[in-house]
Copies of this chain bind each other. A is one copy, B any other.
Amino acid sequence: MTTVSHSVISAAQLLAHWQGHRNLTRKLIEAYPEDQIFNYSIGDMRPFAELIMEIMDLSGGGVEGIVTGKWKVLDELSHVNGNYPKTKTEMLERWDAVTDQINNFWPQISLERYQENVMAFGAYEGSVYSTLLYVIDNEIHHRAQAYVYLRSLGITPPPFWDRY
């Protein structure tokens, strides 16, 4: 007897979905003028560089934390302590390292774990699936703010569906 198990989305599909979004975020970084990425903002918000650091901290540290149970505390995160690359090239290198970090740790999250609770970064309690969705959604949220920054600088960002 064969049991067919249906699901909304598989773990591999969620990873592909996220890495698609991450491809787009990387294109936004590339589209940014070097000086503006570190300095430009609107309405006293943070420049895109700080938002990217937050995205990378939560993404790489989030997946690694879920797998290993070892979490950096907030003060150890680059977007909190300000210890991060100051060129676009180094930022893109770090981005690609986080891509590998996610790809390497992701298959170690067993299907059973998605419904279990974790205390992310020693501070945020929630299920594994909701923690991962928070990280992905937070990336979409902050990247969209960079869309407005870019538009206000007269630069056309890559389209939202361009995830390749």
Residue of B nearest to A136 (CB): B137
Asked if A31 CB lies within 8 Å of chain B CBs, one says: no
A44-B151, A148-B45, A151-B44 given; A141·B140 CB < 8 A: yes
**Chain A positions 124-156 with a Cβ under 8 Å from a chain B Cβ:** 129-130, 133-134, 137-138, 140-145, 147-154
Chain A contact surface mostly: helix
Using a Cβ–Cβ cut-off of 8 Å, how many residues does chain A contribute to the interface with B?
42
Residue of B nearest to A155 (CB): B43
Residue of B nearest to A142 (CB): B144
Cβ of A97 to closest chain B Cβ, rounded Å:
25
Instruction: Select A9's contact among B129, B138, B143, beta carbons within 8 Å.
Output: B129
Question: Which chain A residues have a beta carbon within 8 Å of chain B's beta carbons?
Answer: 3, 5-11, 13-14, 17, 21, 42-45, 111-112, 114-115, 129-130, 133-134, 137-138, 140-145, 147-154, 160-161
